[in-house]
């Protein structure tokens, strides 16, 4: 368990090269600076930025093959967590950040440019308005309840798409509340940054995708 800032920084450094780590340090500076102007992260977490936010985002990469280059879709990116962290650490992977709040989406664009992240595309609109594409990975950190995430995002998923959904302390309960046909497609991984938090991980099968697509077609969202 990563319980200190030093441990969190060492953990992240072990997952990327020196250039990426330098960009993460710059990202941390930009995030703290912008947090004085708009509430991107909770003030008490500024002192544990690496543990609570950067390492918490970076740990998702432990579940993704380094050979994976399909687009990564990050829902409700907010301050770029985990989206910008992933883009920095995996520059060969296209990362699409969806953030409907104008001030935040503008900041994401500016920050991606400042960090030279050519692999980032920011969609400053509601997810419902984003054009469908096939995502290799779908992530969402504090975006919406699990059923809502699945309903909104199934159209971006194939049977090979990996879902990585940090759900904090509600992970097990949210998964248990899903219908059995969906619940059996996922499991909960222990978070490295919080002993009581979990990450919902899994793939949707053809049947589950078909049913979610049919629900969406009926206006089930």
Q: What is the CATH number of the domain that holds 29?
A: 3.40.50.150
Q: Which parts of the chain have pLDDT scores under 50? A: none
User: What local confidence, expressed as pLDDT, does residue 221 receive?
Assistant: 52
Compute the distance between CA of residue 113 and CA of residue 97 in angstroms, rounded to an integer. 14
CB 80 within 8 A of CB 27: yes
Of residues 57, 104, 98, 49, the one with CA closest to residue 74:
98
User: What local confidence, expressed as pLDDT, does residue 198 receive?
Assistant: 96
CB 204 within 8 A of CB 212: yes
* Tokens 């059923």 sit on residue: 147
Structural domain containing residue 113: 5-217
Structural domain count, the chain: 1
User: What local confidence, expressed as pLDDT, does residue 32 receive?
Assistant: 98
**3-class SS at 110?**
helix
Of residues 136, 7, 132, 112, the one with CA closest to residue 64:
136
């Amino acid at each position: 368990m990563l319980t200190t800032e030093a441990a969190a920084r060492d953990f992240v450094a072990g997952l990327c090269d020196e250039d990426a780590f330098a960009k993460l340090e710059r990202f941390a500076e930009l995030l703290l600076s912008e947090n004085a102007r708009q509430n991107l992260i909770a003030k008490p977490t500024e002192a544990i930025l690496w543990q609570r936010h950067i390492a918490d985002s970076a740990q998702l990469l432990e579940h993704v093959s380094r050979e994976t280059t399909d687009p990564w879709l990050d829902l409700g990116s907010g301050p770029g967590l985990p989206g910008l962290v992933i883009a920095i650490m995996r520059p060969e992977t296209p990362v699409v950040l969806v953030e409907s709040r104008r001030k935040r989406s503008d900041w994401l664009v500016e920050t991606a440019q400042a960090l030279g992240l050519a692999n980032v595309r920011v969609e400053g609109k509601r997810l419902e308005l984003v054009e469908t594409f096939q995502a290799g990975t779908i992530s969402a950190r504090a975006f919406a309840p699990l059923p809502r995430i699945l309903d909104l995002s199934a159209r971006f998923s194939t049977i090979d798409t990996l879902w990585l959904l940090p759900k904090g302390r509600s992970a097990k309960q949210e998964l248990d509340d899903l219908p059995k046909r969906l619940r059996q497609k996922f499991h909960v991984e222990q978070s490295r940054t919080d002993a009581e938090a979990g990450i919902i991980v899994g793939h949707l099968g053809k049947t589950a995708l078909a049913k979610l697509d049919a629900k969406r077609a009926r206006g089930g969202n």
